[in-house]
A and B are shown apart, each in its own frame.
Chain A
Amino acid sequence: MSTQHTLEIKGLTVSVETEDGPKEILRGVDLTVKSGETHAIMGPNGSGKSTLAYSVAGHPKYTVTGGTVTLDGEDVLAMSVDERARAGLFLAMQYPVEVPGVTVSNFLRTAKTAVDGEAPKLRTWVKDVKTAMGNLKMDPAFAERSVNEGFSGGEKKRHEILQMELLQPKIAILDETDSGLDVDALKIVSEGVNRAKDASGLGVLLITHYTRILRYIKPDFVHVFVDGKIVEEGGPELADRLEDEGYDRYATTVPAAQA
C-alpha cells in the first residue's frame, strides 16, 4: 500500500557556534534511508549523532556548512522546521521539551491538522488517539496534561512514539529513544515503532547508544558513527561486534568511555 520514500543525506557538514567561533561537528555524512528500512546509528557519546538528527530536522542552533539533504528529491535544507515535518520527517527527541499550558490533546490535534493540511474528523480522531495511547500503555489522563510537563523519562519517550504513530511520517529519526527506559518500557516503545513500520512502511533511522533495543527493532543496516562521520557500515552482525568490542578500534578523538 505504501509508496516508496527516500531520505538522502550527502556530504553533510555541520557546525555550531561556540564562544571560540564555529566548531565543526559533522564532517561529511552520507546516508540514505528508504521506506521500510531500519538503519541503526551507533557511536560513542559526543560523536555527533544528535547533531545529525537535529540538523535534518532544522534546529536553528546548527549551521549546515556543506552537503545536501533531500526527501524524495526535495531540498530539505531549504525548508523551515515545520515544512520539514509536513513533508514527512519526524524526529523523536532525546530530550523532549516541556510546553506549559498546552495540553497533549490540543498539541496532537494541532500537529495532526498542520501535517495533514486539514483537521482530522473528530470521531475517528478521538478513537485513534485513545487506541494509540492504549497501545503505548499511556493513562488517558495524559491527554489533559501539559505537553511533557512533569512526565517521567519513560512517559516522555512514549509520548514521542505516540506522536509518531498519529502523525504517520514517511521517515522517522529516533534519537536515543531507548535511553533511560526499563525493559518493559523499551518493549512498549519498540512495539510502537514496529507497528508504525508495518502500518505505513515507515523508514527508521534509529540512533542508539546500546544494542539492547536492536533485539526488539531489527535493523537492516548498522552504521558506526565516530567523530562526526560514519566510519563503518554493515548488517545486524556489526551491532553484535560493537557489543563485544566497543568503539576502541575506531580512531577517535572523543573518549568513548564518557557515558
Chain B
Amino acid sequence: MPVADTLVDTDASVTDASPTTHVDPQTAAAASAAGFVPQQSRAERAASFDVAAFPLPSGREEEWRFTPVKKLAALLAEGATGHLDWTTSLPEGVTTSTISAAEAQGLGILPPQDRAAVLAAASADGAVLVDVPAEAELTEPVRIRLDGAGADPVHAHVVVRAGRFAKAVVVVEHAGSARVSELLSVVTGDGSDITVVSVQRWSDDTLHLAQHDALVGRDARFTHVSVTLGGAVVRVNANVRYAGPGADATLLGVYFADAGQHLEHRSFVDHNAPHCKSRVTYKGALQGETARTVWVGDVLIRAEAEGTDTYELNRNLVLTDGARADSVPNLEIETGEIEGAGHASATGRFDDLQLFYLQARGIPEDEAKRLVVRGFFVDVIREIPLADLRDEITAAIEEELATTDYAAPTQQTPSQHASKEN
C-alpha cells in the first residue's frame, strides 16, 4: 500500500487546499474545469427541516459535485409514494412505533443537510422510531432488514433513540431493487454505547441516498459502520454532533465498487463540544471500467471544542484500470486548544512486491490477491461487533474479488524469456 501522507492542519479558517487523490488525472482536470460553486466553511452549509431550504441541485454544489445527480431526479422530487419491506428482529425491551415528522423533530434529531434528506424527513408516512430504553444492555443486536418493494421512489425516515447508559448494536441491512432516500437519525443518551451498522447489498439497479446522523450524548460512545457493496448509485453521508463533552465517535466504512457502480461516502464530524474524540476510517476497493468511489470527510473543530482529538483516514485500492477513486479530507480548526487533529488519504494499486512475496512462498496469484485485499480491509471489518456479520461481509468481498480479471497491474507472472533456443 502507498504510504499515507499525514498532515496536521493548523490553519484556523477554510480548507479549500485539501488534497484530492485521483486515479485518473485527466478526468480530474476536466472536472475542475467545469467549475464548482466555491467552497465555504462546513459550518455555513444549509441544515434545515424546511424543504424550501434545498433547491434542486445542479450537480455543481459542493455537496453534490461528485454525485451523478441527473440519475437521481426521482429521489429529489417531492411526493414519493413507494415503500420498503421491513423485517425486524427486536431484542426484549426494544420497541418500534410510528411517529409524525413533528414528533421526530421534537426528539432533537439533527436537521437534514441536503434535498434528499429533507424530503425523507418530510415523508407523509412519518418516521419509524426504534426505542432502546435507558440502561438496557442488549446482548443481541437490533436487526432491521429493508428490502426493495417496487419501482416507486421511497422517502424513508428511521429514528433510533437510545436512553442513558444503554448499550446496543443496531444493524440495518439494505437489499433488493429500490430507489430510496433514507434519513436515519440517531439520538443517544449520556454514557451510552451505541453501534449502528448499515449494510448496502442492493441489486445493481438501486439508487440509494442516505443521511445517517447521530447526536451523541455526553460521555457516550457511538460507532457507525457503512458497508457498501451493491447498488448503482449509493451515497451514505454519516454525520456526528455532540450533545455534551467527553463523547467518542467512530465512523467506519468499507466499500467495493464494480463496473458501473458509483459508491459515495461522506462524513461530517461537527466538534461542537469540548473534550470529544472522533476517528474516521474508510477503506474501499474498486474494480472494472467506470467503477467509481468518492469519499469526502469533513471535520470541523469549533472554537468551543477545546481538547478535541480527531483523526480521519481514507485508503483506496484500485484493482483494475479504468476505475476512479476520489478522496477529499477537509479539516477546519477554529481553536488552537486541541489534543490532536490529522488526516491521511491514499489511493493505490496492488503492491506488486507484496504479491511477489506471497507467491514466492507458493501461494497462487489469485489467493495472494485475496489475502492482500482481506488484509487491507481487516482493521475496519474487525470493528464490526457481530462475528456472523463480519464473516458474511468478508465472504461478500471475496465473492466480488472472484469476479475480477485483474487488467493491468500484474499480468506478467512467468518471466518472459527468449532463452529456449540457445
Instruction: Out of B361, B376, B412, B419, name the residue touching A114 (CB < 8 Å).
Output: B361
Whether B417 contacts A82 by the Cβ 8 Å rule is no
Instruction: Out of B1, B417, B422, name the residue touching A63 (CB < 8 Å).
Output: B417
Whether B414 contacts A85 by the Cβ 8 Å rule is no
In the assembled complex, the CB of A71 is this many whole angstroms from the nearest CB of chain B, namely 14
Can you list 5 A-B contacts (CB < 8 A)?
A: A77-B419, A82-B363, A85-B361, A97-B351, A101-B376
Among the interface residues A106, A114, A115, which one has the most CB atoms of the partner chain B within 10 A?
A114
In the assembled complex, the CB of A76 is this many whole angstroms from the nearest CB of chain B, namely 10
Query: Measured between alpha carbons, how far is A67 from B422 in the docked complex, in Å?
Result: 7
Number of interface residues of B (CB under 8 A): 35
Instruction: Out of B358, B376, B378, B412, name the residue touching A107 (CB < 8 Å).
Output: B358
Number of interface residues of A (CB under 8 A): 42
Would you give the 0/1 interface string for A166-191, flagging 1 where the beta carbon is closer than 8 Å to chain B? 01000000000000000000000000
Whether B354 contacts A97 by the Cβ 8 Å rule is yes
Instruction: Out of A59, A79, A99, A167, name the residue touching B358 (CB < 8 Å).
Output: A99
Whether B419 contacts A67 by the Cβ 8 Å rule is yes
Query: Measured between alpha carbons, how far is A167 from B367 in the docked complex, in Å?
Result: 18
Tell me which residues from 54 to 74 in chain A have a Cβ below 8 Å from any Cβ of chain B.
55, 57-60, 62-68
Known A-B contacts A97-B356, A100-B375, A101-B377; A78 and B414 likewise in contact (beta carbons under 8 Å): yes
Is B390 located at the chain interface by the 8 A CB criterion?
no
Is A11 located at the chain interface by the 8 A CB criterion?
yes
| Complex: chain A residue closest to B380, CB-CB | A101
Instruction: Out of B357, B362, B412, B413, name the residue touching A99 (CB < 8 Å).
Output: B357
For the complex with contacts A97-B353, A101-B374, A102-B374, 8 further pairs of A-B residues with Cβ separation under 8 Å are A63-B416, A64-B417, A65-B419, A90-B360, A97-B351, A99-B354, A110-B363, A147-B357
Is A105 located at the chain interface by the 8 A CB criterion?
no
Whether A66 contacts B371 by the Cβ 8 Å rule is no
Q: Is the interface of A mostly helix, strand, loop or mixed?
A: mixed
Whether B361 contacts A163 by the Cβ 8 Å rule is yes
Whether A65 contacts B371 by the Cβ 8 Å rule is no
Interface on B for A, CB 8 Å cutoff?
1, 351-354, 356-365, 367-368, 371-372, 374-379, 410, 412-419, 422
| Complex: chain B residue closest to A55, CB-CB | B415
| Complex: chain A residue closest to B361, CB-CB | A111
Tell me which residues from 119 to 160 in chain A have a Cβ below 8 Å from any Cβ of chain B.
146-147
| Complex: chain A residue closest to B355, CB-CB | A81
Whether A107 contacts B361 by the Cβ 8 Å rule is yes
| Complex: chain B residue closest to A164, CB-CB | B361
Whether A114 contacts B352 by the Cβ 8 Å rule is no
Whether B371 contacts A102 by the Cβ 8 Å rule is yes
Query: Measured between alpha carbons, how far is A86 from B365 in the docked complex, in Å?
Result: 13
Known A-B contacts A81-B356, A82-B359, A111-B361; A102 and B375 likewise in contact (beta carbons under 8 Å): yes
Whether A110 contacts B414 by the Cβ 8 Å rule is no
In the assembled complex, the CB of A173 is this many whole angstroms from the nearest CB of chain B, namely 10
Query: Measured between alpha carbons, how far is A82 from B362 in the docked complex, in Å?
Result: 4
Whether B362 contacts A111 by the Cβ 8 Å rule is yes
Whether A100 contacts B359 by the Cβ 8 Å rule is no
Would you give the 0/1 interface string for A79-114, flagging 1 where the beta carbon is closer than 8 Å to chain B? 111101110001101001111111000110011001
Contacts of A85 in B (CB 8 A): 359-362
Query: Measured between alpha carbons, how far is A82 from B367 in the docked complex, in Å?
Result: 11
Whether B361 contacts A115 by the Cβ 8 Å rule is yes
| Complex: chain A residue closest to B358, CB-CB | A99
Whether A99 contacts B372 by the Cβ 8 Å rule is yes
Query: Measured between alpha carbons, how far is A153 from B378 in the docked complex, in Å?
Result: 25
Whether A99 contacts B415 by the Cβ 8 Å rule is no
Contacts of A91 in B (CB 8 A): 360
Query: Measured between alpha carbons, how far is A96 from B378 in the docked complex, in Å?
Result: 21
Tell me which residues from 35 to 63 in chain A have a Cβ below 8 Å from any Cβ of chain B.
55, 57-60, 62-63
Query: Measured between alpha carbons, how far is A101 from B373 in the docked complex, in Å?
Result: 9
Instruction: Out of B358, B363, B378, B410, name the residue touching A60 (CB < 8 Å).
Output: B410
Among the interface residues B360, B376, B419, which one has the most CB atoms of the partner chain A within 10 A?
B360
Whether B375 contacts A99 by the Cβ 8 Å rule is yes
Among the interface residues A60, A62, A63, A91, which one has the most CB atoms of the partner chain B within 10 A?
A60
Whether A68 contacts B419 by the Cβ 8 Å rule is yes
Contacts of B351 in A (CB 8 A): 97
Instruction: Out of B357, B362, B412, name the residue touching A97 (CB < 8 Å).
Output: B357
In the assembled complex, the CB of B413 is this many whole angstroms from the nearest CB of chain A, namely 4
Query: Measured between alpha carbons, how far is A59 from B360 in the docked complex, in Å?
Result: 9
Query: Measured between alpha carbons, how far is A64 from B416 in the docked complex, in Å?
Result: 7
Among the interface residues A81, A102, A147, A163, which one has the most CB atoms of the partner chain B within 10 A?
A81
| Complex: chain A residue closest to B375, CB-CB | A101
| Complex: chain B residue closest to A62, CB-CB | B415
Whether A80 contacts B365 by the Cβ 8 Å rule is yes
Query: Measured between alpha carbons, how far is A67 from B420 in the docked complex, in Å?
Result: 8
Whether B353 contacts A80 by the Cβ 8 Å rule is no
Query: Measured between alpha carbons, how far is A109 from B21 in the docked complex, in Å?
Result: 36
Whether A110 contacts B360 by the Cβ 8 Å rule is no
In the assembled complex, the CB of B300 is this many whole angstroms from the nearest CB of chain A, namely 30
Whether A100 contacts B376 by the Cβ 8 Å rule is yes
Contacts of B374 in A (CB 8 A): 101-102
Query: Measured between alpha carbons, how far is A35 from B422 in the docked complex, in Å?
Result: 27
Whether A65 contacts B417 by the Cβ 8 Å rule is yes
Contacts of B412 in A (CB 8 A): 60
Whether A114 contacts B422 by the Cβ 8 Å rule is no
Whether B417 contacts A114 by the Cβ 8 Å rule is no
Known A-B contacts A60-B413, A64-B419, A80-B365; A101 and B360 likewise in contact (beta carbons under 8 Å): no
Whether B418 contacts A65 by the Cβ 8 Å rule is yes
| Complex: chain A residue closest to B366, CB-CB | A82
| Complex: chain A residue closest to B365, CB-CB | A82
Contacts of A64 in B (CB 8 A): 415-419
Contacts of A55 in B (CB 8 A): 415
Whether A66 contacts B354 by the Cβ 8 Å rule is no
Among the interface residues B353, B358, B413, B418, which one has the most CB atoms of the partner chain A within 10 A?
B358
Contacts of A82 in B (CB 8 A): 359-365, 368, 413
